[in-house]
Structure 1
Amino acid sequence: MDAKKAVRVAVVEQVGYREWTEELGSDREWIIQTLQSDIYAAAQKEAAGYGGFVLPIRYDIMLLISSNMGVQEHARVLDAIAGLSRVKVRMASYCGVKPLDAVERAWKALRSREERLIYERCEGEEYTAIAHIDLNNVTAITRAEGPVRTYYEVMDLMAKISKVAEEIGAITQYLGGDNILAVLPLNGSVEETVDMLLVRNDLKAGIGIAPTARAGLALAAEALHEIRSKINPGPLVVKAQ
């Protein structure tokens, strides 16, 4: 992957969120969880229309993988969130060869600047590389160990993958079930990068490379399907647009 290519990531912050939750009293968690779900759903639906994908890192702080989304498209996602949020909402969007670098730059901007929407243009071409990581035979594991123990096993796996991801500048997110997403750095070989993330020999990954996050995810899902169906046996398959 050409080093001039960079992934765009926006950080969305609900300002004063903790203070708002504390005003709700002790019988509040169901209210918080319901609102968080509504905001996430609205953000994800709006972002998908422009090729983006939302990662609810803390719910009061979300990441928008937004390569090739313009200022107005970011503003519409921000408006969708603000329309439901009970507090002020801000967004900063930056690029980086490593997704984690883009996040850190965006977060620094939110801490040091006052604008509602901060958007820095990329110096290079915007792309997204995404790995969809999957645990082999999870259905059999769940039948043998039950849903809770299987969940604990996947969370342990998530922690190990995330530690490697941090070291290489990737971003990881748990998608439910046994599915883990990794937004990859765009320097070097994506195959070598993902091979580092496969911390156990019973993992596989479909990798998608595309101008937008939504397209990258679709390609990663196609690649993973080929591995599962043995059309293109893994553990790694790459599809690029």
Structure 2
Amino acid sequence: MSVVQLDEYGPWTVEPSPRRETDLQALQARLYADFADFVGRSDGYAFFNRFDNMLGIANGIDVAEYERLQERIRNRYPITVSVGVGEGETPVRAVEVASRQLQAAGSAQDPGRREVLSAGDTSDSTGQVTVGHFDIVGVTESFTDTEDAAAAGLEIQQSMLALKQRLLSEHDSIAQFVGGDNMIAVCPQLSEDAFGDVVDHVRDETGIEFQVGVGSGPTAHSAGGRAKEALEHCRETGTRVHEATAVQQQATND
């Protein structure tokens, strides 16, 4: 996993005077789009996280590519970014390692810390990525067509928060809202029963039911593609949890 952190961003937003909030939002959106394109070219995924701190699934992305990302941002934006890359047995452990790489180089608001790139002892092996693609069952009928947009958005976000918390606390997984009623999680290799526990917990806590497709592969893109196919199976059959089988995953490769 990689952590991409804007350098000295907080002070920049208010010096020499506070900048317009809409300008800052537009800059963050463009920067995230560039980051998503960057990891996408190497079959990775980008999570906007807090926008000033973004996360990437970094399997297959080498240090030289991150250097080119830093150069691109330096040339296109009035800010720079630092990058930490960490490896771990779970996504949470990998993010912890990546975060420590940056923290050891100095504070995020230290004007002397610019364009740090630290990958520590990461190996050349890509390993396996497991992705769960969650969405809400019947969201159009339950929310979009029956509640006002603000109320629907709040209820959906609350269910997403419960989902993120369960995945993080119980399964060392990192999940990100990706729009509409969709959440993508990068996980250790978990059983279908474990994913079933997650959706059952969120239903019991919030009253909102999710379905999830699960896929694995050497990169986030390959795993996520299989997860999307598995999610389509859920939608077609009413199944709440479905994992792409080895045969289906091999067919996707072919």
TM-score, normalised on structure 2?
A: 0.83
Task: Give secondary structure in 1 for the equivalent of 2:156.
Answer: helix
- The residue identity in structure 2 corresponding to 1:228 is R
Alpha carbons of 1:83 and 1:221: their partners in 2 closer, same or farther (altered >3 Å)?
A: farther
- The residue identity in structure 2 corresponding to 1:136 is V
Q: Is the 8 A contact 2:59 2:126 kept in 1?
A: no
What per-residue deviation string (whole Å, max 9, x for no partner) do you get for residues 1-21 of structure 1? xxxxxxxx0001111101111
Q: Is the 8 A contact 1:47 1:77 kept in 2?
A: no
* 2:227 equivalent in structure 1: 220
Q: Is the 8 A contact 1:43 1:80 kept in 2?
A: no
What per-residue deviation string (whole Å, max 9, x for no partner) do you get for residues 176-216 of structure 1? 11111111123xx3323322321217210011211111122
Q: Is the 8 A contact 1:50 1:73 kept in 2?
A: no
Q: 1:91-130 maps to which residues of 2 (within 5 A)?
A: 91-113=83-105, 116-119=116-119, 120-122=121-123, 125-130=126-131
Q: Is the 8 A contact 1:68 1:126 kept in 2?
A: no
* 1:181 equivalent in structure 2: 184
Q: Is the 8 A contact 2:211 2:241 kept in 1?
A: yes
Q: CA deviation at 1:110?
A: 0.6
Alpha carbons of 1:131 and 1:81: their partners in 2 closer, same or farther (altered >3 Å)?
A: farther
For structure 2, the 5+ residue unaligned runs are 107-114
Radius of gyration: which is bigger? Answer: 2
What per-residue deviation string (whole Å, max 9, x for no partner) do you get for residues 131-152 of structure 1? 1111011111211112221111
Is 1:50 the counterpart of 2:52? The answer is no
Q: 2:211 aligns with which of 179, 204, 215?
A: 204
Q: 1:35 aligns with which of 21, 24, 27?
A: 27
Task: Give secondary structure in 2 for the equivalent of 1:83.
Answer: helix
Alpha carbons of 1:68 and 1:161: their partners in 2 closer, same or farther (altered >3 Å)?
A: same
Q: Identify which range, 70-79 or 149-158, moves more after superposition.
A: 70-79
- The residue identity in structure 2 corresponding to 1:226 is H
- The residue identity in structure 2 corresponding to 1:150 is A
Structure with the higher fraction of residues in helix conformation:
2
Q: Is the 8 A contact 1:42 1:80 kept in 2?
A: no
Q: Which has the higher contact order (CA 8 A, sep 6+)?
A: 1
- Rounded to whole Å, the distance in 2 between the matches of 1:149 and 1:21 is 31
Alpha carbons of 1:190 and 1:68: their partners in 2 closer, same or farther (altered >3 Å)?
A: farther
Q: Is the 8 A contact 1:43 1:81 kept in 2?
A: no
- Rounded to whole Å, the distance in 2 between the matches of 1:217 and 1:89 is 27
Q: CA deviation at 1:24?
A: 6.3
Alpha carbons of 1:13 and 1:85: their partners in 2 closer, same or farther (altered >3 Å)?
A: farther
Task: Give secondary structure in 2 for the equivalent of 1:131.
Answer: strand
Q: 1:80 aligns with which of 72, 75, 94?
A: 72
Q: 1:55-66 maps to which residues of 2 (within 5 A)?
A: 55-66=47-58
What per-residue deviation string (whole Å, max 9, x for no partner) do you get for residues 101-135 of structure 1? 11111111111137721123238652211111110
- Rounded to whole Å, the distance in 2 between the matches of 1:219 and 1:79 is 33
- Rounded to whole Å, the distance in 2 between the matches of 1:63 and 1:78 is 15
Task: Give secondary structure in 1 for the equivalent of 2:188.
Answer: coil
Task: Give secondary structure in 2 for the equivalent of 1:87.
Answer: coil
- Rounded to whole Å, the distance in 1 between the matches of 2:219 and 2:65 is 13
Query: How many corresponding residue pairs?
Result: 229
What is the alpha-carbon root mean square deviation over aligned residues? 2.0
For structure 1, the 5+ residue unaligned runs are 1-8
* 2:241 equivalent in structure 1: 236
- The residue identity in structure 1 corresponding to 2:157 is M
* 1:6 equivalent in structure 2: none
